[in-house]
């Protein structure tokens, strides 16, 4: 039984139009870790995420999930272990009702109807969204959609939860709610985000990507308080570490 | 109608369709069948028939009342879509030379009678159609159609259409609004701008479809859309269809208004 | 323009529904056989796109009137005729339900008029041959306009036929056709322009979408003009036969029994009118057809007997009918009002 849950070994990826998006990415994630991925726009964050569930296949190098190497034939198997929540919930909620969306994954796993129903209820309960069970997705607010999108993935009980900008375009209350959710999950987690405060709140470890390669890998509090490193990557210190002086007087 | 106005009209109908009343709880198949039956029977009346159509108003009126659908809302929509029928029907009084007495001492061109018939049929059939969607969620109708035998492929993409309809219209409103803010009152869209708006929407639509497909794959999609519902017909559904059908048949073959009128006259005189 | 229920007869509406359902089934089957996974969500979302586009009006230069995109041609260019037809059917279905565009019986006619002609006739026979590989903007414009015009002309003519066959209006064939066809010619030209414009825009920005589509949605091998025409003739014969059978087998009996029950007196024209009208195209255009049979100008004597509904100006019957009618309406709406009041008390 491998100690490692997810492994990238010198992964290179070139898009069909020639852009080299990943130039040798390597890292290991073990069971129970929660890892943040940060970097400038276009650095390769999303590309890395899209490799975790086989949406993209490496041009060279290897991705391994548990015991299973990522290949075209093993993608289905890997998708049972890796659940990816994409950036835009509207793209993820494509069924007529919330129930149908959350049931989609378990049904594709081949579970019988009563087990599916169980999974749906459990998942929605975990994200505090049981109330919207029968609603159509377009009747939900942004925060509700994000929560349900997460539920659609955890209903499959993946080993590892991968999320791309989970709190983008959410209002502060919904954002706080998502942070609370993520912290309540026992899953191993990978979260890519510009929201460094969220990363700080959710992840113990942080990777920094620049130009398709990992240039830093360490405990999140350490990485995210390194102002120089962050600045080199078009990032700033998390707001909670910026120590803004109390505002007084008028603007000038 | 402006984009915003049309969108809010659809939005309201859509929200009404998810309410919970005795009518909403009826099986979609029963409602679809009853409504189609209604339309066919109404439309089967001959050209000059008006009075015998009147009892049929009970069906939309009752459905609307039991379903909690605002009457004014339906009435406004009926009027809003009437132009074509009015436009074609108005020729009847102009062309039909025959005259007919509709009351003691009152004679009009028969064309007015047939025009009135068209209008009444129009009001009945359109309100019945609106009430169908107002009391049955669109996915419910789709499931009903599937159970009635329409191909799965057709129904699946119909559901996708419905799901993304609202998303796309909102996107379109943003694009059109942006155009509006930059056109400094030049009025409505010219062809060139329209092409660009539609072209942009089209590309975004295709990209969105790619992302949706990616999300489906990520949750194990392998080509068959799974479904779970096994809704059985209940006695109330059968009762509804039979009662409605019986009422329609009765009013089709028995001239109810005339009978009632004669009865009253008999009692009075 | 969309057909409306109120202008249709059950026979005509039913026949076209049968044709539409049959075609939906056929197209679904053909598509299922060689379907790419990603096509179903693509079809659905494109349907939403067409629906949305049709909600945006634009002004036609020079006329000031507003036009909008049909969409059948763009869909067919992208998805092939079968998928395009299914998508157009869906768009029309949603419009029929949410916008009450015409009604539920007329939906069968509308899908036929606005789906079958653009996707199965205009696209394969006009657009595709003219546009070729789609790289020449000029050819695409020509193809879009020709295809748009033909598709709309056929659709408009269909509406005229359907209205006439149903016999609820007095509009003579000539007048109606003269109103519909030129208007739709103008609409077709504009739509052609817009279609070509959108296709050109897409080709400029993301050509691979159109190229990928062209190769993955090939026309059925062996589709020839001759086959299509034969198919349509066959369909017309079947439809005509079905209509005649329906008319001769039932309405006679239906009308007779209605006459007996209502005691409306002699209606000599009726019994002959329907089956005769439906069996002979000549009669249909010479006489205004339909249930309420109207004789030609040269038969004034028949005219008097043909006034249906209230032939004998029986004041008593008419008055009682009116009274009963008013009462019926009052009762119907009264019930509705009462139910609403009761429900209001229970709240929710």
pLDDT at C207: 81
Q: What confidence tens digit (pLDDT) does each residue in A112-159 have?
A: 999 999 999 999 998 889 999 999 999 999 889 999 999 999 999 999
Q: Does one domain contain both B247 and B115?
A: yes
Residues in B 67-106 with any Cβ partner in C closer than 8 A = 68, 71, 77-78, 81, 84-85, 88-89, 91-92, 94-105
Domain check: are C255 and C234 in the same one?
A: no
Q: How many CA atoms lie within 13 A of C170 on its CB side?
A: 23
Whether C21 and C47 share a structural domain: yes
- The pLDDT assigned to C292 comes to 32
Count of domains forming chain C = 3
3-state SS string for C122-191: HHHHHHHHHHCCCCCHHHHHHHHHHHHHHHHHHHHHHHHHHHHHHCCCCCCHHHHHHHHHHHHHHHHHHH
Closest approach of A217 to chain B, Cα-based (Å)? 27
A96 to B162: CB separation less than 8 angstroms, yes or no: yes
Q: Name the residue with higher pLDDT: A121 or A245.
A: A121
Q: Are residues C152 and C87 in the same domain?
A: yes
C108 and C217 both lie in a single domain: yes
Residues C40, C86 within the same domain: yes
For residue A249, CA distances in Å to A246, B121, C146, C270 come to 10, 72, 71, 92
In a domain, B209, yes or no: yes
User: Does residue B259 lie within any of the structural domains?
Assistant: no
Same-domain status, B139 and B39: yes
Per-residue tokens: B237 = 């559904």
- Residues of chain B found within 8 Å of residue C291, distances taken between Cβ atoms: 46-47
CA dist., res. C91 & res. C44, Å (int):
9
Same domain (yes/no): B106, B204: no
**B88 neighbors C169 (Cβ within 8 angstroms):** yes
Residue B1 within a domain: no
Residue B46 falls inside a structural domain: yes
Report pLDDT for A41: 86
How far is C198 from chain B, CA to nearest CA, in Å? 5
Which residues contact residue A220 at a Cβ distance below 8 angstroms, ignoring those fewer than 6 apart?
Answer: A36, A199, A200, A203, A204, A205, A206
- Do residue B163 and residue B192 come from a single domain? yes
Do B202 and B184 reside in the same domain of the chain? yes
Chain A adjacent subunits, 3+ CB pairs under 8 A: B
Chain B residues with CB under 8 Å of C99 CB are 6, 9-10, 81
Quote the pTM value.
0.83
Stretch A31-37: mean pLDDT: 93
pLDDT for the residue numbered C260: 43
> CB distance A94–B163 less than 8 Å?
yes
For residues C123 and C107, state if they share a domain.
yes
Contact: B215, A79; criterion CB under 8 Å: no
Do residue C111 and residue C230 come from a single domain?
A: yes
CA distance linking residue C155 with residue C182, whole number of Å:
12
Are B163 and A92 a contacting pair at CB < 8 A? no
CB pairs under 8 A between B and C: 396
B4 found inside a domain: no
Global ipTM: 0.91
| Lookup: tokens for B223 | 């080509």
Same domain, C261 and C148: no
Are C204 and C347 in a shared domain?
no
Mean pLDDT of A216-234: 90
Q: Is B214–A83 a contact, with Cβ atoms under 8 angstroms apart?
A: no
- In order of their start, the domains of chain A are 4-238 (3.40.50.300)
Whether A55 sits inside 8 A of B218 (CB atoms) is yes
Q: Looking at residues A50-67, what average pLDDT do you find? A: 92
**Three-state secondary structure readout of A101-155:** HHHHHHHHCCCCHHHHHHHHHHHHHHCCCHHHCCCCHHHCCHHHHHHHHHHHHHC
Let me know whether C266 and C344 are in one domain: no
Question: What is the predicted pLDDT for the residue at C294?
Answer: 37
Choose the closest CB to A55 out of B167, B208, B217: B217
Tell me which chain A residue has its CA closest to the CA of residue B214. Answer: A55
Q: Which pLDDT score, from 0 to 100, does residue A82 have?
A: 93
A194's tokens: 């510009």
**What is the phi-psi region of residue A234: left when phi exceeds 0, alpha when psi lies from -120 to 50, beta otherwise?**
left
Cβ-contact B131, B60 below 8 angstroms: yes
Distance in angstroms (rounded) separating the CA atoms of residues C326 and B261: 9
Angle at C328 between CA C325 and CA C330, to 5 degrees: 110
In three-state form (DSSP H/G/I as H, E/B as E, the rest C), the secondary structure along chain B is: CCHHHHHHHHHHHHHHCCCCCCCCCCCHHHHHHHHHHHHHHHHCCCCCCCHHHHHHHHHHHHHHHHCCCCHHHHHHHHHHCCHHHHHHHCHHHHHCCCEEEEECCEEEEHHHHHHHHHHHHHHHHHHHHHHHHHHCCHHHHHHHHHHHCCCHHHHHHHHHHHHHHHHHHHHHHHHHHHHHHHCCCCCCCCHHHHHHHHHHHHHHHHHHHHHHHHHHHHCCCCCCCCCCCCCCCCHHHHHHHHHHHHHHHHHHHCCHHHHHHHHHHHHHC
Whether residue B262 lies within 8 A of chain C, CB to CB, comes out as yes
Domain count for chain B: 2
Give me the long-range contacts of C31-38 (CB less than 8 A, separation at least 24).
C31/B153, C31/C82, C31/C83, C31/C86, C32/B151, C32/B153, C35/B153, C35/B223, C36/C216, C37/B213, C37/B221, C37/B222, C37/B223, C38/B209, C38/B210, C38/B213
- Asked if residue C285 and residue C210 are part of one domain, the reply reads no
Same domain, C189 and C225: yes
Do B243 and B163 lie in one domain? The reply is no
CATH number, domain at C165?
Answer: 1.10.1760.20
pLDDT at C84: 94
Residues of A in contact with B137 (CB under 8 A): 136
Residue with tokens 């900008």: A165
Whether A150 contacts A85, CB under 8 Å: yes
Partners of residue B31 in chain C, C-beta under 8 Å: none
Tell me which of A237 and A35 has the higher pLDDT: A35
d(CA A220, CA A216): 10
Our CA-based measurement puts residue B12 at a distance from the nearest CA of chain C, in whole angstroms, of: 10
Query: C24: which 2 tokens?
Result: 């939906």
**What is chain C's pLDDT, residue by residue, as a tens digit (348 residues)?**
678 888 888 999 999 999 999 999 999 999 988 888 888 899 999 999 999 998 887 777 666 666 777 788 889 888 889 999 999 999 999 999 998 888 899 999 999 999 999 999 888 888 888 888 777 888 888 888 898 888 888 988 898 889 888 888 777 888 888 888 888 888 888 888 888 888 888 888 888 777 765 544 444 443 445 455 555 555 555 554 444 444 444 444 334 433 443 444 333 334 344 444 444 443 343 333 333 333 333 334 433 333 333 333 333 446 777 788 888 888 889 998 899 888 876 544
* Chain B residue numbers touching A158 (CB-CB < 8 A): none
Contacts of B18 in chain A (CB under 8 A): 135-136, 139
Within chain B, which residues score under 50 in pLDDT? none
- Contacting residues for B2 by C-beta, under 8 A, at least 6 apart: none
The parent domain of residue B159 ranges over 151-218
Residue in chain C lying closest to B160 (CA) = C44
Q: Which residues in A have their CB inside 8 Å of a CB on B?
A: 53, 55, 76, 79-80, 83-84, 86, 88, 90-92, 94-97, 103-105, 107-109, 113, 116, 135-139, 152-153, 156
B222 touches chain A (CB under 8 A): yes
Quick check: is B263 in a domain? Answer: no
Q: How far apart are CA A220 and CA A206, in angstroms?
A: 5
Please check whether residues B237 and B124 belong to one and the same domain: yes
- Do B35 and B127 belong together in one domain? yes
Which domain, by its residues, includes C104? 5-243
With CB atoms and an 8 Å threshold, state whether C5 touches B223: no
Q: Are residues B243 and B124 in the same domain?
A: yes
Neighbouring residues of C118: CB distance < 8 A, sequence distance ≥ 6? C70, C72, C73, C76, C84, C88, C147, C148, C151, C155
Q: Chain B within 8 Å of C316 (Cβ-Cβ)?
A: yes
Give the three-state DSSP class for C252: helix
Q: Do both B27 and B100 map to the same domain?
A: yes
Q: Quote the pLDDT of residue C130.
A: 85
CB contact under 8 A, C202 and B262: no
**Nearest-CA distance A133 → chain B (Å):** 13
Answer whether B15 touches A (CB < 8 Å).
yes
A109/chain B closest Cα distance in angstroms:
7
Place A229 in a pLDDT band, splitting at 50, 70 and 90: confident
B200 and B115 both lie in a single domain: no
């Amino acid at each position: 039984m491998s100690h490692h849950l997810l492994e990238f070994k010198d992964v290179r990826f070139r898009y069909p139009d020639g852009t080299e998006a990943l130039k040798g990415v390597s890292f290991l994630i073990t069971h129970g870790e929660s890892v943040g991925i940060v970097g400038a726009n276009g650095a390769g964050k999303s590309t890395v995420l899209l490799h975790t569930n086989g949406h993209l296949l490496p041009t060279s190098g290897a991705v391994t999930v548990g015991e299973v190497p990522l290949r075209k034939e093993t993608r289905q198997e890997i998708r049972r272990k890796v659940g990816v929540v994409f950036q835009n919930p509207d793209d993820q909620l494509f069924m007529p009702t919330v129930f149908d969306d959350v049931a989609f994954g378990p049904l594709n796993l081949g579970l019988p109807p009563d087990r599916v129903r169980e999974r749906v209820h459990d998942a929605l309960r975990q994200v505090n969204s049981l109330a919207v069970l029968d609603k159509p997705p377009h009747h939900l607010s942004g925060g509700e959609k994000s929560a349900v999108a997460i539920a659609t993935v955890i209903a499959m009980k993946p080993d590892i939860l991968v999320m791309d900008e989970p709190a983008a375009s959410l209002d502060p209350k919904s954002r706080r709610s998502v942070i609370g959710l993520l912290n309540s999950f026992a899953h191993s987690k990978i979260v890519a985000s510009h929201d460094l405060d969220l990363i700080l709140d959710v992840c113990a470890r942080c990777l920094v990507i620049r130009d398709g390669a990992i240039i830093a890998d360490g405990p999140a509090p350490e990485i995210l308080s390194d102002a120089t490193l962050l600045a080199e990557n078009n990032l700033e210190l998390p707001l909670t570490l910026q120590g803004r002086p109390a505002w007084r007087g008028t603007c000038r | 109608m402006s984009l915003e106005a049309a969108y809010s009209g659809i939005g309201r109908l859509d929200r009404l369709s998810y309410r919970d009343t005795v009518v909403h709880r009826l099986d979609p198949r029963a409602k679809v069948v009853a409504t189609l039956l209604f339309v066919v029977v109404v439309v089967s009346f001959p050209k000059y028939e008006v009075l015998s159509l009147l009892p049929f108003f009970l069906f939309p009126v009752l459905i609307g009342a039991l379903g909690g659908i605002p009457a004014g809302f339906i009435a406004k929509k009926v009027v809003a879509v009437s132009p074509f029928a009015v436009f074609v029907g108005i020729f009847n009084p102009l062309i039909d030379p025959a005259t007919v007495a509709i009351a003691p001492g009152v004679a009009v061109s028969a064309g007015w009678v047939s025009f009135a018939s068209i209008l009444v049929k129009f009001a009945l059939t359109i309100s019945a159609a609106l009430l169908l969607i107002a009391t049955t969620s669109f996915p419910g109708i789709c499931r009903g159609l599937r159970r009635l035998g329409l191909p799965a492929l057709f129904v699946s993409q119909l559901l996708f259409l419905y799901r993304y309809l609202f998303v796309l219209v909102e996107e379109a409103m943003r694009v059109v609004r942006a155009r509006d803010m930059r056109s400094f009152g030049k009025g409505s869209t010219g062809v060139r701008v329209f092409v660009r708006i539609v072209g942009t929407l089209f590309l975004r639509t295709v990209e969105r479809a790619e992302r949706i497909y990616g999300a489906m794959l990520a949750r194990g999609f392998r080509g068959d859309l799974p479904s779970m519902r096994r809704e059985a017909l209940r006695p109330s559904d059968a009762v509804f269809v039979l009662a409605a059908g019986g009422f329609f048949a009765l009013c089709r073959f028995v001239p109810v208004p005339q009978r009632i009128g004669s009865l009253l006259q008999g009692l009075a005189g | 323009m969309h057909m409306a229920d109120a202008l249709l007869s059950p026979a005509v509406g039913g026949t076209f529904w049968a044709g539409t359902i049959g075609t939906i089934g056929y197209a679904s089957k053909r598509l299922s056989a060689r379907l790419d996974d990603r096509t179903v969500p693509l079809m659905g979302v494109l349907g939403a796109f067409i629906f949305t586009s049709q909600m945006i009006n634009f002004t036609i230069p020079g006329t000031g009137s507003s036009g909008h995109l049909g969409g059948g041609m763009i869909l067919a260019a992208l998805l092939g005729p079968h998928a395009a037809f299914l998508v157009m059917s869906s768009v029309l279905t949603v419009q029929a339900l949410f916008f009450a565009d015409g009604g539920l019986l007329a939906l069968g006619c509308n899908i036929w008029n606005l789906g079958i002609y653009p996707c199965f006739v205009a696209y394969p026979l006009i657009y595709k041959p003219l546009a070729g590989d789609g790289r020449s903007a000029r050819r695409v414009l020509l193809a879009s306009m020709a295809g748009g015009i033909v598709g709309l002309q056929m659709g408009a003519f269909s509406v005229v036929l359907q209205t006439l066959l149903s016999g609820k209006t007095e509009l003579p064939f000539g007048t109606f056709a003269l109103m519909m066809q030129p208007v739709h010619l103008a609409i077709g030209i504009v739509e052609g322009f817009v279609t070509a414009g959108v296709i050109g825009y897409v080709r400029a920005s993301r050509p691979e979408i159109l190229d990928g589509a062209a190769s993955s949605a090939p026309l059925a091998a062996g589709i020839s003009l001759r086959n299509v025409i034969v198919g349509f003739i066959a369909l017309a014969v079947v439809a005509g036969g079905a209509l005649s059978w329906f008319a001769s087998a039932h309405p006679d009996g239906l009308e007779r029994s209605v006459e007996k029950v209502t005691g409306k007196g002699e209606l000599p024209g009726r019994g002959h009118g329907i089956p005769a009208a439906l069996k002979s195209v000549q009669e249909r255009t010479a006489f205004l057809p339909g249930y309420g049979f109207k004789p030609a100008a040269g038969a004034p004597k028949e005219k008097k007997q043909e006034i249906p509904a209230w032939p004998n100006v029986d004041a008593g019957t008419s008055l009682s009918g009116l009274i009963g009618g008013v009462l019926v309406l009052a009762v119907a709406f009264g019930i509705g009002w009462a139910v609403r009041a009761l429900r209001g008390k229970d709240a929710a």
